[in-house]
Amino acid sequence: MKQLWKILGIVALVLLVAPQANSTVYTLTSGNSTANVDTGSSTGMYGWTIDGTSLLYQQWFWYRVGNTGGEHSVDSLGLIGATQPTSNILLADFGSRSGLEINVSYLMTGGTAGSNVADVAETITIHNHGTSALDFHFFQYSDFDLNRRTLADEVTIDHSLRFVDQRPATLGSGPMLSETVLTGSHAPSHAEANFYANTLNSLMDGSPTTLNDHLTAGPGDVTWAFQWDTVIGAGGAFIISKDKTVAPVPEPATLALFGGIMVLLARRFRKAAV
């Protein structure tokens, strides 16, 4: 039943964001990859399609100032403007030049046809143009469906909270996704792996959310989220840089070889540290 409702939701979403006169939907295109970004609603990024297969239901951002009240999607700040200097780049600015402003940039790099490989890099810059510090909480929510037939995926978030791995529970039924919070960027304060739509509901219920730090979920219709907690001083900024890649799931022999290499490297580094 959950799968049926989600499929109906996808159909409704497509109808909702069909091109209109003043559309806020932008399309990224590169090689074998396309994706849509709705800057006018919490739909956010959706429909990331690689070699003809759509893998992304929704990925977007929420924020909260202080520790009371609920979260708000960044589009609720209002769109200052959005530009596409090339077909694979989108720059979107939300908020106010005199108050809170959130800039989101996307860079898509598609692969060759049939490779089932593509990449999207994102940078989020949060500006405090006000005269007082902000107790700021920022959230990224992600709902990828790699196994389109049964919505049976598994997701693991690394304990550093910088790396996510999502793949189909059944080998060969879809690609794998990895997302990395890049070194030098701010690491998340909390994370959550869960099932649709538990985390999304918590971001939209009008109460303050702290992600539960459960780092695995599945098999099933999994979702995952990051949370950053920080204080942004007057006139200051907070920058998050991330990269997400979709690629075919390695065959078991490749995974075993990779695991063996990692064990050897770990032994080498332990020996060097002695």
Q: Which mean pLDDT values do the consecutive 10-residue runs of the chain (274 residues) have?
A: 48 39 83 98 98 98 97 97 98 95 98 97 98 97 96 97 97 94 93 98 98 98 98 97 94 41 38 37
C-alpha dihedral sign at 13, 36, 180, 172: positive
Which pLDDT score, from 0 to 100, does residue 45 have?
Answer: 98
**pLDDT number for residue 185:** 87
Please name the residues in contact with 190: beta carbons below 8 A apart, sequence gap of 6 or more.
161, 210, 211, 212, 213, 226, 227, 229
> For residue 23, what pLDDT is reported?
67
What is the pLDDT at residue 184?
A: 85
pTM: 0.85
For residue 193, what pLDDT is reported? Answer: 98
Position 273, amino acid: A
Query: What pLDDT sits at residue 178?
Result: 98
The pLDDT of residue 258: 36
Would you state the pLDDT for residue 2?
46
